A and B are shown apart, each in its own frame.
Chain A
Amino acid sequence: EAGVTQFPSHSVIEKGQTVTLRCDPISGHDNLYWYRRVMGKEIKFLLHFVKESKQDESGMPNNRFLAERTGGTYSTLKVQPAELEDSGVYFCASSQVSSTIVETQYFGPGTRLLVL
């Protein structure tokens, strides 16, 4: 079974440019999460989709970040325009939906974003 995949693995852009990150969850996982780790700090939650609906977007830093999950499959996270402080590693995770168990979130390899 394929794991969570993310594209690209690395991205280097200039301040003010736009970048779009993609995440493909594990097949059958309706929960999809985005997290971010800024250099040396904790991994912080950005948002949570259940299928195509945003369940919790309390971690989105500002309106320069736009996340979508069309059709409830893959998700994209667009940063426009990018600022220096957006640099970090962006992780995507997915899990099954369950009303009876606490599901495990499985993470992708991350996208390392550097804004110059």
Chain B
Amino acid sequence: QQPVQSPQAVILREGEDAVINCSSSKALYSVHWYRQKHGEAPVFLMILLKGGEQKGHEKISASFNEKKQQSSLYLTASQLSYSGTYFCGTETPGNTGKLIFGQGTTLQVKP
């Protein structure tokens, strides 16, 4: 089952904050976050593992609520370079190594 991302799109001014949510109907082993700019390949941002371990970039953070089967990506003090489409990818126990991606959230940061 594809995870559901919200919102579908968001427009920000530079310096504003944004939160992107990813919700699954299945128990999760891990959640990955990727950013894709138009016409380019997705780029790995971070992974959140069951048990609370987090990896990734300093300026963008994320949380993983295993009980609620949800993850949120936090972008603080947004920069123009944050513009793009953000995807979450989820792994379920028993299907580790296979990511199911959400439909994406388009973020546009304006000057």
A binds B: no
